Each structure stands twice: as structure tokens, then as C-alpha cells.
Amino acid sequence: MTRFYVRGIRGATTVKKNKAGDILEATAKLLRTIVEENNLKIEDIASVIFTVTPDLNAEFPATAARELLGWKYVPLICGQEINVPDRAKKCIRVLVHVNTDRAQDEIKHVYQNEALQLREDLL
């Protein structure tokens, strides 16, 4: 019997400017890569939590999932990251909860652009 678990997939990216188009494009690229790298189907995705640094407020990253990727039935929520001095700026973070039979060490986390520095240990 196959056992399924809810696993978390982390990811992050950055944008150069606080513009809606930049936020949507970067978020969509990040989510597409997470889906591809982990061989996911939309129905595998249980929910997604997005956070952004306080310097990003031009658009909700969840809009990219809903409008650009068609994740109509996936529960999505956005929040603001803690404003820690000297940390990543203009950063979009994501935690994708998926139903999978994979072990934790088989999950592929995705970091792009300036966010590569956040988890170099996973690259």
C-alpha cells in the first residue's frame, strides 16, 4: 500500500522593482519550476503560503498562481515577512504543501535570483 504524506516545498525569488508585472512574472516562474522539478500535478497541491518582504506591495503573488497558472481550486494566502535588517530585499517566498509519496529528502526546493543565498545548503 502506498502511503501519502503532506510535504512542504520551499522556494523563493527576488524582483528588481516593486511592480505588479515583475512580481507576477517572478512568482509564476518560481511556481512553474517547483512543479516541474517535483513532477507535480495541480491536484497534488494542498495549499500555498506566500510571503513578501515589506518593500513589495504592488501585487499579491497569489494572483500569479490563480490568474497565470490557473490554480483556481488551490487554497492560497499571502502575508508579509518579518523585516529583519540586512536580509534579502524585494523577496517573494513560498511554501507549497503537496500530497506525495516521496520522502522529505526527495523534495526539490527552488531558489532563484538573489534568493539563491537563502538556502545554499539545498542547492
Q: What is the extent of the structural domain holding 86?
A: 5-122
Return d(Cα 71, Cα 81) in angstroms, integer: 23
Asked whether 115 and 56 are in contact (CB, 8 A), the reply is no
Number of domains in the chain: 1
CATH, residue 90: 3.30.1330.40
Give catalytic residue positions.
Answer: 10, 66, 78, 81, 93, 111, 119
Whether 115 contacts 17, CB under 8 Å: no
Q: What is the pLDDT along the chain (123 residues), one digit of tens a residue?
A: 778 899 999 999 999 999 999 999 999 999 999 999 999 999 999 999 999 999 999 999 999 999 999 999 999 999 999 999 988 999 999 999 999 999 999 999 999 998 988 766 665
pTM of the model: 0.94
